[in-house]
Amino acid sequence: MTEPTKYFVVTKKAVPEVLLKVVEAKRLLESGKLPTIQDAVDAVGISRSSFYKYKDDIFPFHDSTQGKTVTLSMQIEDEPGLLSDVLQVIAQFGANILTIHQSIPINGVAALSISVQVLQTTKDISEMLDAMEKRTGVHSVKILAKE
């Protein structure tokens, strides 16, 4: 009996360089910028064997989220308009908000969970999370679940 596939969400800084280069080679191929695997691996500086070893096991987070529900957890300061700013980021990236739950602020910070549906037209979720974290008053953004 085979063990079920397990997935992990890690930040880019925790991913070995060879895996990031495999993702970049795949992007070059998919975009049509380079016509062959050999051209792509030469451009990013990895071997063909490394590419083939990892190509089916590494992909940008956004590619695995289309058509899924992603639940986010964040800590935000209790400031007028900050929740609206966070929701505006979601709207700008084209995700569909399904649920919002905000706790009563304690010491000026509220826990917030938001579930969003990732559509075919939704822009890169990783970039959306980054845009949220860059908002003044947002302390952290974490992915709780992907269904």
Q: What is the pTM of this model?
A: 0.60
Helical axes 82-93 vs 125-133, angle rounded to 10°: 160
Which residues of the chain are under the pLDDT cut of 70? 1-7, 9, 60-66
Which amino acid is it at 106? Answer: I
For residue range 92-132, list pLDDT tens digits in order: 999 999 999 999 999 999 999 999 998 888 888 888 998 99
List all residues 6 or more positions away from 94 whose beta carbon is below 8 Å from its beta carbon: 119, 121, 122, 123
Q: Residue 6 has what pLDDT?
A: 66
**Looking at domain 64-146, what is its CATH homologous superfamily?**
ACT domain (3.30.70.260)
Return the domain boundaries, the chain: 12-59, 64-146
Q: Token pair for residue 24? A: 């970049």
Burial of 111 (0-12, 13-18, 19+ CB in 10 A): middle
